Structure 1
Amino acid sequence: MGKLILTSNKENILHIQINRPEKMNAANRKLLTELSLAYAEANQDDNVRVVVVSAVGNHFTAGLDLGDVLGTAPQSGLDLTPEGGIDPWGITTAPISKPVIVAVQGTCLTLGVELILASEMAVADETTVFGQLEVTRGIMPFGGATTRFAQRVGWAHASRYLLTGETFSAKEAYRIGLINEVVPAGMQVDRAMELARLVSEQAPLAVEATLRNARVARDSFESEAIRQLPRELEMLLKSKDFEEGITSFASREKPEFKKL
């Protein structure tokens, strides 16, 4: 298995690409480890002023590789950030100090939406379909959506998609304020790079200070929810409903949840 995260550095911009297109860029533990280390690389490099995250292929991400990541979670723990890495979602470690712009296309589910919520800007091409599907699999979001989605788009919009598992279009994502722009198919990376260059031309210390101060309110708002998150998720991972969710995902059949 080759690298699941590709990086290139040009004009003070680190471009991180998710590279598992044969699996619709679903994130397994290896991918999450490599992504964490790429974020740490960007954080430590003084020449990097902005990070752009995109994905190879037709889809940004189908979300978690459930069997690989959650199938062993009770044994291996929920902390998927390796030593020396930075959690791209800013849950288990301090967030990256550089601004992040996400460019998405095709399918953008669960942790893909949460990566947008953890970032400063997002551009979607017109083909993108978003979804926060965890409740359809007997689990809950654990990358920040339980607090950040409502902060970004308001509780009325967030609760609909968090609690129903409905998918929604790029046009809807723009309407509710999840993303900054919708662009023609295939143009999302070009536009994200244009925005990144605009940011990189500004005073880097001022950009980082602005970002750091802007996060103070978010961090204080999230602190209690983040402390409760591992306990809530652990309970769900031990439930019969989670087993049913995994089974139905594999069989493509509708799950029958029973609150067990």
Structure 2
Amino acid sequence: MTATPTSPPAEGCIDTQVLDHVLLIGINRPAKRNGWTPPMFRQLAEAYTRLDDDPNLRVGVLHAFGDHFTAGLDLPAVTEYMKRGEKAIPAGLVEPHDFGLPDYRRRTKPMVVAVKGICFTVGIELMLGADIVVAADNCRFSQMEVQRGIMATGGATLRMAERAGVGNAMLHLLTADEFDSAEAYRLHFVQKVVPAGQELDAALAIAQRIAAQAPLAVVATRLNVIKAVEQGPLAAVSEFIETQKRLSNSEDAAEGVRSFVERRPARFSGR
């Protein structure tokens, strides 16, 4: 499918489009290879917040307009923010890197990302902060902050090591080298590699498959996985009984049983 972009201002923007229960979130600054500016970060957080707040929306798909996912930060636009230690995202919104920081909300609904072409720095960090990543086979990845005299602070230092081990993380973080989609797949940074031009369709197909499942169960399952990763297996296991009790008493659980007995697709309401 082809998402329809608006005409972006010079500082770029984030476009959104609703397809049934899926929110498409488009990075829109192709003339600058989708280099990130403070307004774009704020708008991205607003889009993630919209996903969580709208009961009709069940899954997000982050993608980009143009030939590239992103060349990374627009350093002239963000340097003063970094020097002041200022955040571009207002408190109270869902923080797209999903750190669980004070004053910010955490995303509860799934996010699928479609990446293509150049995917540098913050692009890698946004995809690692999501749940499932589909990469075009023409991707060029690089976490090159050390080349610019700064540190990656969008999650790469945490999640590269978590996914690929400390040695592999150090290799790419400290050398600022460039690697391809096959290497990203080997390191578990991406989950699928498809021919260039098919990445958005593939990501949308995954999102639609997720959206067809019971929304309460999807959210509970996702959050339990995150808890296991962040707090350990026992913390996740300790929630099993109460979570299953709550889900089993939902309208969707009853619909799941009915659809099984009647041999038809379930029609879930999120209640």
TM over 0.5: yes
Judging changes above 3 Å, is the alpha-carbon distance between structure 1 residues 218 and 94 closer, same or farther for their aligned structure 2 residues? farther
Q: Which stretch of the first structure deviates more once superposed, 166-175 or 50-59?
A: 166-175
Contact 2:113–2:133 under 8 Å retained in 1? yes
2:180 aligned residue: 169
**Superposed CA offset, 1:80-116 (max 9, x none):** 2124422110234232111000001010011110111
Distance 2:180 2:105 in 1: 31
What is the CA-CA distance between 1:73 and the residue it aligns to? 2.3
The answer for the alignment partner of 1:89 in structure 2 is: 97
- Structure 2 counterpart of 1:159, from 160, 165, 170: 170
8 A contact 2:59–2:207 mirrored in 1: yes
Deviation at 1:153, TM superposition (A): 1.6
Name the counterpart of 2:42: 33
Q: Letter of the 1:9 partner, please give it.
A: V
Q: Deviations over 1:163-195 (max 9, x none)?
A: 110010011111221101111111100000011
Q: Which secondary structure does the structure 2 equivalent of 1:116 belong to?
A: helix
**C-alpha contact (below 8 Å) 2:136/2:195 kept by paired residues:** yes
Matches within 5 A, 1:6-155: 6-75=15-84, 77-91=85-99, 92=101, 93-155=104-166
Aligned to 2:196: 185
Aligned to 2:266: none
What is the aligned partner in structure 2 of residue 201 from structure 1? 212
Runs of 4+, deviation exceeding 3 Å: 217-221
Q: CA deviation at 1:218?
A: 3.6
SS of the residue corresponding to residue 68 of structure 1 reads helix
Alignment correspondent of 1:227: none
Question: 1:46, CA displacement in angstroms?
Answer: 0.7
Measure how far apart 1:79 and its partner are.
Answer: 2.0
> TM-score of the superposition, structure 2-length normalised?
0.78
- Candidates 212, 219, 223, aligned match of 1:212: 223
Unaligned 5+ runs, structure 2: 1-7, 233-271
* CA distance in structure 1 between the partners assigned to 2:164 and 2:143 by the alignment: 14
Render the CA deviation track for 1:201-257: whole Å, top value 9, x for unaligned: 111101101111111244448xxxxxxxxxxxxxxxxxxxxxxxxxxxxxxxxxxxx
TM-score using structure 1 length: 0.81
Tell me the matched-pair count: 220
Q: Secondary structure at the match of 2:17?
A: strand
Distance 2:211 2:154 in 1: 27
Q: Secondary structure at the match of 2:80?
A: coil
Instruction: For residues 4-38 of structure 1, give each alpha carbon's deviation from its aligned partner in whole angstroms, at most 9, with x where no partner exists.
Output: 11101112000000000011001000111111111
Percent of paired sites with the same residue:
41
More RCO (CA 8 Å, sep 6+): 1
**1:140–1:217: structure 2 CA closer, same or farther, 3 Å change rule?**
farther
CA distance in 2, matches of 1:35, 1:72: 17
Determine if contact 1:40/1:84 at 8 Å carries over to the other structure: no
